[in-house]
Amino acid sequence: MKDYQDGYIKLALPKGRFISPTASLLAEIDLGFEGYSDKTKQYRLRSARFPSLSAKILQEKDISIQVAVGNYDLGICGSDWIEEFLVKYPAGALVKISSLNYGEGSIHVVASAGAGIANLSELSAGRNDYRIVSEYPNLAEAFALNLRMRRFRIFPVWGAAEAYPPENADLAVLWGKSGAYIATQGLIPLKRLLPVTAFLIANRESLESKDLSRILMCFSSKLTAEPQTSIESELDISEELKGTRPLWQAKEINLALPDGHQQAPTSQFLKQAGLALQGYSEEVVSRRPSADLDWLGIKVIRPQDMPLQVANGNFDLAITGEDWLLEHLYCFPSSPVKKLFALGFGTVKIVAAVSQEMPVNNIDELRSLVQSSKFAPLKVASEYINIADKYLRDNHINPYKLIPTWGASEAFLPEDADMLIDNVQTGKTLKQHKLKIIDVLFRSSACLIANKDSLASFDKKGKMELLTQKLRAGLK
Amino acid sequence: MQDLLPEGMLRFRRIEDIFRTCCRNWGYQEVRTPTLEYLYLFTATGTLTPSMLSKVYSFLDWDGWSGERVVLRPDGTIPVARLYADNLSGQELARLFYVTNIFAFEGTGKENRERWQCGAEFFGGAKFAPDVEIILLAEEVIRRLGISNVGLQLSHAGLVKALLKELKLSPGEEAKMTNRILEGNWQALTKAKSTNPEIERLIAALLGLKGKSSSFLHNVKASFPKASQDFKSSLEDLINVTTLLDKLGCSYKIDIAEIHGFEYYTGICFQFLAAGEKIGGGGRYDNLVPLMNGEDIPACGFALYVDPIMKLLPLEKEKKGESEILVKGKELTPEIVETCFTVAESLRDAGHPAELDFTGREESNYRWVVLVSGKEPSPFVLTDCIQRRRRDAASMAEILKVVSEG
């Protein structure tokens, strides 16, 4: 991928939270990219000043990995995702150049106010089996190992980590604006792991062998040895804090509902089914909406996390997508999660797509192309790594490499991946990015899933049936 | 990752055979633990250090939705301690040995990620006699392997821990200091500011001097009368072991700072060096079985590292395989091939290794070659490869007679 001859330099720029401060910084140092803003629909950007410099907009989680594997020479991304990578692969090819001195909040280890954990020494001394939920599984594991926690389990989640304690996790490792902000969520900050600031990072080999000086010079006025983040004062864990939220009461049946763009249609569906909820409308979003059924506990989490959370018994029922259920079952074939019925909304197609330039129209032609070793190994970007893995194995594509992504896999083609396996609604986005669909793996819509053990449980059976009947009524 | 070729396997088996024979002669019994163990076995304080834990291969168990994680066995001793706690804890004394592979991740991908160990563990028994037993057993194995110029270094985890306690650090600082020392950074200890000049003098003496006999430890004891009780009792323990080693004619060097990675050790620890490489090590780990929810039973053990020993093993002129006799057919007709199989079977039944050849190539590394021609009256030609003589043989009985007479 790398081209040393003409000094072509590739820069990875962050999506999301860091877009506007990064765009202002780039403008300030005269390294602006046209179209780098919140509203952009593009992924590929060209530098107005340096013809040999190009940039791509990626998810922050992907940037540290993409720079480390050498697809990009330079990148800008948050220190949390950099450390999440470095703590696992310290000898990797990722080099931190400097903090760029903007960013907000910190990564904290938190416990629930009601969980009875007040400090770290209780964790290392205790003989309990602690459940730690986090979007940062590597940081969470390093924390637990360094603290010498005797027994712990890490549950990686796609998001909404704050919703899990105390019922579904003992600890969470998550981002928070400040200790005080975390306390308002009914959580106790136990330890601040690191402040979140944007960093300029580089690929080690690029830095060692390629002339990046023109670009690095633009940053020179912004480079500092130490991040100038104000160290917020650690919060004292006082008694009054512990009482900020009423103690949680165990419910007989627990239901998980999706956040994100699945929320609106789900909310609509529940209304149709006659299930009145407070805190699950477009105006008011709570992680814990309440229903008029006093035995029903509800939490709002990411649909991606639901099959696993139903499997491990944290929830009895959940509304998620068939795609995420299948992704889970391909990984854990004996998992006790079962689809009850499809709900008929949120329908997408899971497709395999390649660049329009690639001379193939179906998977059989692609197989021959890979066999002819023109595209070997075939690099496949996907949010659904288990689905993609099975699809490629079933179709005897060999050799291939999977690139896990966190959505927007189309940004990876054609430079950083040869094929994507992702969901589409209309296929318009793919066309915009000059991609073509070569196979439809399956259609997926929202569905109700359940834990098989709960369905069989003497205590839960009756209420589970009552609730599923109610929801089934919403189908008409 | 590495392949072991036939020549390497001969060395490997030689080490294993000598180790097994010695262990059995000393009354040890062989055990085997699974390649996959639960991660939590290795996470508590007093098991593996965080830096070692960062190198384990761990992944979700088959029923991974429960979050349970398993590891590829990263250490030989901890699983055997678990095996003892789970299955044998009624026994007051258990002498166990094992030959096993252990796995450690390393970032460069160039080093070997699978290593082999021959280890022996002693559960139960009074202090210092088992310590000496395992040192002498390890030494005997090394001696029988024919490795020369082997150095034995002794240290004592209890002494180090007592020294750390004397520094009166906060629990957090003490944990950090322990980790640094476990990683081999002993300078950290000398840099630590102590309010007590006596402690600084003690640290300087222990890190600076290398003892060669128990007399050295008696000198230390006499020079530091104000040392803590913990320190003194650890010192006494080390004196007992070294005095016995002196009397049994085992030479060693006492070097407190030479040993690291001893997190689970509580008493004496030792390592063997040859040609600048560590070829084995061990020590006393009295807290490990209780940590595995077993009884409070003292234990000690050692492991020899097969990979560096293989490189040092004196190269013997190894015979090509075990096959003494080559049986070949003059032609590859079904009848002749069948006769070849029958002849070879009769030879093996009579206790002679016999290899078949179907390629027609000339081989000279055999004691005998039997050529099957199938032509009456003498369907076999027997070649004596040492005497370089050929003779016809009429029957299987005749072949067996000649071969048996040598």
Q: Let me know if residue A190 belongs to a domain.
A: yes
Work out the minimum CA distance from A148 to partner chain B, whole angstroms: 5
Nearest Cα residue in chain A from B61: A332
Q: Determine, yes or no, domain membership for B259.
A: no
Residue B188 touches partner A, C-beta closer than 8 Å? no
The confidence score (pLDDT) of residue B167 equals 82
Backbone phi and psi for residue B30, each to the nearest 5 degrees, phi listed first = -80, 140
Same domain, A161 and A289: no
Whether residue B239 is found in the same domain as residue B298: no
Confidence of residue A240 (pLDDT cuts 50, 70, 90): very low
Q: What is the mean pLDDT of residues B88-93?
A: 90
Tokens (6 digits) for A412: 């990876």
Q: How many domains does chain A have?
A: 4
**Euclidean distance between CA atoms A281 and A288, whole angstroms:** 12
How confident is residue B322, by pLDDT bands cut at 50, 70 and 90? low
What is the pLDDT confidence band of residue A243, given thresholds at 50, 70 and 90?
A: very low
CB B150 within 8 A of CB B279: yes
A238, part of any domain: no
pLDDT at B323: 59
Domain CATH code at residue B98: 3.30.930.10
Say yes or no: A342 and A354 in one domain. no
Residues A133, A155 contacting (CB under 8 angstroms) = yes
How far, in Å, CA of A5 to CA of A335, rounded?
Answer: 52
Q: What is the largest CA-CA distance in chain B?
A: 100
**Model confidence at A443: pLDDT above 90:** yes
Same domain, A341 and A352: no
Q: Are residues B80 and B4 located together in one domain of the fold?
A: yes
Q: Are B12 and B106 in the same domain?
A: yes
A285 lies in the same domain as A297: yes
**C-alpha–C-alpha distance, residues B28 and B125, integer Å:** 14
For residue A231, name the pLDDT band (cuts at 50, 70, 90): very low
Mean pLDDT of B242-253: 93
C-alpha B31/C-alpha B20 separation (Å) is 11
> What are the C-alpha distances in Å from A275 to residues A155, A269, A300, A345, A446?
30, 9, 15, 17, 17
Residue A229 within any structural domain of the chain: no
Asked whether B166 and B194 are in contact (CB, 8 A), the reply is yes
B181 and B245 co-located in one domain: yes
A245 in any annotated domain: no
In this structure, are A352 and A438 located in the same domain?
yes
**What does the block give as tokens for A140?**
């969470």
My answer on whether A321 and A336 are in the same domain is yes
Name every chain A residue with its beta carbon within 8 A of the beta carbon of B175. Answer: 148
Q: How many angstroms away from the CA of A244 is the closest CA of chain B? A: 30
Judgement on whether residues B144 and B127 belong to the same structural domain of the protein: yes
Tell me which H or E stretch contains B317. Answer: none
Do residues B222 and B78 both lie within one domain?
Answer: no
- How far is A261 from A104, CA to CA, in rounded Å? 25
B270 closest CA partner among B398, B98, B142, B170: B142
For A40-64, how does the pLDDT look when each residue is reduced to its tens digit (9 = 90+)? Answer: 778 888 888 888 899 999 999 999 9
Instruction: Centre a 10 Å sphere on the Cβ of residue A293 and count the other Cβ atoms it contains.
Output: 18
Show residues of chain B in contact with A152, CB under 8 Å.
40, 43
Q: Does the pLDDT of residue A275 top 80, yes or no?
A: yes
| CB B46, CB B287: distance < 8 Å | yes
- Let me know whether B241 and B296 are in one domain: no
Q: Does B50 lie in the same domain as B169?
A: no
Shared domain check, B58 and B19: yes
Region A204-220 average pLDDT: 88
Confidence of residue A2 (pLDDT cuts 50, 70, 90): very low
The string of pLDDT tens digits covering residues B183-218 is 777 777 777 766 677 777 888 777 777 888 888 888
Please enumerate in sequence order all residues whose Cβ is within 8 A of that of A352, keeping only pairs 6 or more positions apart, or say none: A363, A391, A419, A420, A421, A437, A438, A439, A440, A441
Tell me phi and psi for residue B387, to 5 degrees.
Answer: -80, -10
> Does B261 map to a domain?
no
* Burial tier of A174 (Cβ tally within 10 Å: 0-12, 13-18, 19+): buried
Identity of residue A170: D
My answer on whether A406 and A426 are in the same domain is: yes
Rounded (5°) CA angle A356-A362-A368: 100
Domain that residue B371 falls in: 325-405
CB pair distance less than 8 Å for B54 and A145: yes
Choosing among A131, A134, A143, A153, which should be mutated to test the B contact, i.e. which has the most B CBs within 10 A? A153
Which carries the bigger pLDDT value, residue A54 or residue B175?
A: A54
Asked if A152 lies within 8 A of B40 by C-beta distance, the reply is: yes
Q: Is residue B154 part of a domain?
A: no
List chain A residues with CB under 8 Å of B108: 91
Q: B334-378 pLDDT, tens per residue?
A: 999 999 999 999 999 999 999 998 887 766 678 899 999 878 788
Report yes or no on B368 lying in a domain.
yes
d(CA A187, CA A258): 22
DSSP string, A259-328: -GGGHHHHHHHHHHTT--EEEESSS-EEEEEEES-TTEEEEEE-GGGHHHHHHTTS-SEEEEEHHHHHHH
- Does residue A205 lie in a domain region? yes
CATH number at residue A266: 3.40.190.10
- The one-letter amino acid code at A222 reads K
Please indicate, yes or no, if residue A295 is contained in any of the structural domains. Answer: yes
- Alpha helices (H) along B146-213: 157-166, 171-182, 187-191, 197-208
Nearest CA to A318 among A334, A290, A338? A338
Q: How many domains does chain B have?
A: 3
Domain annotation covers residue B369? yes
Residue B255 in domain: no
**A375 and A429 inside one domain:** yes
Q: Is B62 on the interface with A (CB under 8 A)?
A: yes
Out of A92, A148, A312, closest to residue B67 by CB: A312
User: Which residue segment(s) compose the domain that A90 sits in?
Assistant: 9-102+196-222
Query: What mean pLDDT, rounded, does chain A reach?
Result: 87
Q: Are B105 and B55 in contact (CB under 8 A)?
A: yes
Q: Does A338 share its domain with A389?
A: no
Q: In this complex, is the C-beta atom of B225 within 8 Å of any C-beta atom belonging to chain A? A: no
Query: Is B7 found in the same domain as B141?
Result: yes
| Same domain membership, residue A186 and residue A201 | no
**B270 in any annotated domain:** no
B230 and B126 together in one domain: no
pLDDT confidence of A77, banded at 50, 70, 90? Answer: very high
Residue B67 touches partner A, C-beta closer than 8 Å: yes
Q: How far is A175 from chain B (nearest CA, A)?
A: 22
**Residue A295 sits in the same domain as residue A412:** no
Average pLDDT over residues A150-166: 92
Q: What is the pLDDT of residues B35-87, one digit of tens each?
A: 999 998 998 877 888 778 888 898 888 777 888 889 999 999 999 999 999 99
Cross-chain CB nearest to B67 (options A155, A335, A337)? A155
A37 shares its domain with A90: yes
* Interatomic CA distance for residues B27 and A199, integer angstroms: 61
Residue of B67, B69, B107 lying closest to A91 (CB–CB): B107
Last residue of one domain, picked from the residues B204, B233, B250: B250
